[in-house]
Amino acid sequence: MPARLIESLATSDALAELFSDQAVLQALLDFEAALARAEARAGVVPSAAAEKIAAAAKADGFDIAALSRDILRGGTAGIPLAAALRERVEAKDAEAARWVHWGATSQDAADTALVLLLKRANGILGDDLSRLEQALQKLSNEHKGTVMLGRTLMQGAPPVTFGLKAAGWLGAVHRGHTRLEESFARALVVQFGGASGTLASLGERGPAVAGALAKELGLANPEAPWHTHRDRLASLVCECGVLTGTLGKMARDVSLLMQNEVAEVAEPGGQGRGGSSTMPHKRNPIASAITLAAANRVPGQVAAFLSAMVQEHERGVGGWQAEWPIVASVIQATGLAAASMLEVAEGLWVEAARMRANLEATNGAVFAERAAMLLGEALGRDAAQKVIEEALRQSVAQGKHFYESLAEIPQVTAKIPPDTLRQLEAPQQYLGAAEFFRLALLSSASDDAKKER
C-alpha cells in the first residue's frame, strides 16, 4: 500500500507497506500461530488445536478499525488481538479456542511482532545500502583523477579529488551499514516471558517453548525475556540515527555542489523530479532534500526512544507503549534516506570541467599553503608569511594569478626558480596523499565485504 499523504516525504513504498495496518496485524498473528505450534511441540497445547489457531491467524477478515479502537482502550495490542483471534477460532472449534495466547502476555505479542517487522526491514535497508556502496565505489573510481576545490568552513581550500570525496562518503556509509547490521543481529530476538518474565504459567516447559517459538519465527532466542530491558532496540535506533546523519552529510555536500554558482554536480532528473512549480529553469536537489529532512527528524526520535528506556521493574508503564511509532518512524526515515542517496549515487551528473574552472577561478589563492611551505624553507616562516600576504593582495587588486604576483617580488625570485613558481598552481602536484586515502577507504569497504561473504 502507498504511504499516506502526510507521510509521503517520510517513507518509501516498501517501508510504508511493511508498517501498514495489514502487515502489523499479520506480524501479531504470526506470533500467535507460532506460539501455538511451539507449545504443541512441547506438549503444552494439543497439535490439532495449534493447527486450528494457525489456520485462523490470517489478517484478512479482521476488523482493523475496531481493533485499533480496542487497542487504544486496552493500552496494548495483545489483549484485543487475542480476543479477536479466539473468537475466530471458536467459530470453528471451541476447544481449540481456549489455547489461544496460552501462557503469553500482551507485551510478548507486541514486542515479537515489532521484531518480525524489523527482520523484514533489515532486508530492505540492507539491499539499498549494499547498492549504494557499490555505486559510490564506482563513482570514486571513475573520478579518481577529477580535481576540484577543497572547501573548509565553506571557503576554497587546497584541491582534492572528487574520487576522494566519494570514497569518504563510501567509508562512512560502509561503517554505518556494518554497525546497523550488527545492531539488527542483536535486536532480532523473540520476546516470550509471560506475566512477570518467568514463564511460571508453563512450569518447567517454559524455556523449551521459548526455544521452539524462536525457531518457528526464525529469530534468536535470548538468555531471558527482556520486557523492560530495551538496550538492543535502543542500539538499533541509535545506529539508524548515526547512519541517517551520514547520509545527510552526503546529501548536504551534493546540494551545495548543485548550487547554480557552483554547478559541479547534479542529481538525476526525470519526469516530476527536481522541477519547480513557478521556476521552470530549476533543477532542485530533491533526493538530497528528502534525506536532509530525515536527518533533521531522526535525532529527536532517537532521543525520545532513549528517554523511554527508563522502565519500571518487570513491566513498564508508558515506556514500551511509546516505542512502536518511534521505531517505525526511525526505520522508515533511515530507509528512505538510503533509497534517496542510492538514486543520487547511481545517477549523479559530475561536471569535471566546471570543477576545474571553479578551482582556476581562485587565481591560485588556494595554493598559498604550498607557497608557504616553499618560501618558509628559503626565507623563514615569518618573512614568508609577509611575502605571501603581499602577493595575495596584489593578486586580488590586479586580477592576476597568485604565482605571477610572487614572481614580481625580488625576495621570492632570488630563492625560487621561475619554473617552480609556474608549477605552483598545478593541482595534480598538490594532492598529497589523496589517492592513498581514497584507495584505503575503498579497500576497507571491499575487505569487509569479502569477510561477510
Single out the catalytic residue among 276, 307, 381, 443. 276
pTM for the predicted model, two decimal places: 0.94
Q: Domain count of the chain?
A: 3
Residue 288 within any structural domain of the chain? yes
- The reply to whether 158 and 301 lie within a common domain is yes
Q: Rounded to whole angstroms, how far apart are CA atoms 281 and 288?
A: 19
All 3 cell numbers of residue 291?
534525506
Q: Which residue from 190, 259, 170 is spatially nearest to 439, judged by alpha carbons?
A: 170
Return the CATH number at 183: 1.20.200.10
Residue 433 within any structural domain of the chain? no
pLDDT digits (tens, 9 = 90+) for 318-343: 999 999 999 999 999 999 999 999 99
- The reply to whether 57 and 23 lie within a common domain is yes
What φ, ψ does residue 172 adopt, rounded to 5°?
-70, -40
Residue 332 within any structural domain of the chain? yes
Query: Average pLDDT in the 6-22 region?
Result: 95
pLDDT at 217 over 80: yes
Return the CATH number at 47: 1.10.275.10
In this predicted structure, which of 8-17, 115-124, 266-275 has the lowest mean pLDDT? Answer: 266-275
Q: Rounded to whole angstroms, how far apart are CA atoms 413 and 383?
A: 14
Active site residue 276: yes
- The reply to whether 168 and 289 lie within a common domain is yes
Single out the catalytic residue among 120, 179, 283, 315. 315
- The reply to whether 51 and 144 lie within a common domain is no
Given 339, 360, 381, the domain boundary residue is 360
Residue 443 within any structural domain of the chain? no
Residues 6+ apart with CB under 8 A from 275: 282, 283, 284
pLDDT digits (tens, 9 = 90+) for 111-147: 999 999 999 999 999 999 999 999 999 999 999 999 9
Secondary structure of the chain in HEC code, one letter for each residue: CCCCHHHCCCCCHHHHHHCCHHHHHHHHHHHHHHHHHHHHHCCCCCHHHHHHHHHHCCCCCCCHHHHHHHHHHHCCCHHHHHHHHHHHHHCCCHHHHCCCCCCCCHHHHHHHHHHHHHHHHHHHHHHHHHHHHHHHHHHHHHCCCCEEEEEECCEEEEEEEHHHHHHHHHHHHHHHHHHHHHHHHHHCECCCCCCCCCCHHHHHHHHHHHHHHHHHHCCECCCCCCCCCCHHHHHHHHHHHHHHHHHHHHHHHHHHHCCCCCCCEECCCCCCCCCCCCCCCCCCCHHHHHHHHHHHHHHHHHHHHHHHCCCCCCCCCCCHHHHHHHHHHHHHHHHHHHHHHHHHHHHCEECHHHHHHHHHCCCCHHHHHHHHHHHHHHHCHHHHHHHHHHHHHHHHHHCCCHHHHHCCCHHHHCCCCHHHHHHHHCHHHHCCCHHHHHHHHHHHHHHHHHHHC
- The reply to whether 17 and 142 lie within a common domain is no
- The reply to whether 276 and 410 lie within a common domain is no
Expressed as residue numbers, the domain containing 401 is 362-416
pLDDT digits (tens, 9 = 90+) for 53-62: 999 999 999 9
Active site residue 186: no
The burial of 153, by beta-carbon neighbours within 10 Å (0-12 exposed, 13-18 middle, 19 or more buried), is given as: exposed
Reported confidence tier of residue 270, pLDDT bands at 50, 70, 90: low
pLDDT digits (tens, 9 = 90+) for 359-391: 999 999 999 999 999 898 888 889 999 999 999
Q: Rounded to whole angstroms, how far apart are CA atoms 424 and 282?
A: 38
- The reply to whether 309 and 395 lie within a common domain is no
- The reply to whether 157 and 286 lie within a common domain is yes
- The reply to whether 133 and 90 lie within a common domain is no
What φ, ψ does residue 2 adopt, rounded to 5°?
-70, 165
pLDDT digits (tens, 9 = 90+) for 271-303: 555 554 444 455 789 999 999 999 999 999 999
pLDDT digits (tens, 9 = 90+) for 41-84: 999 999 999 999 999 999 999 999 999 999 999 999 999 999 99
Contact 109, 31 (CB under 8 A): yes
Q: Rounded to whole angstroms, how far apart are CA atoms 45 and 68?
A: 29
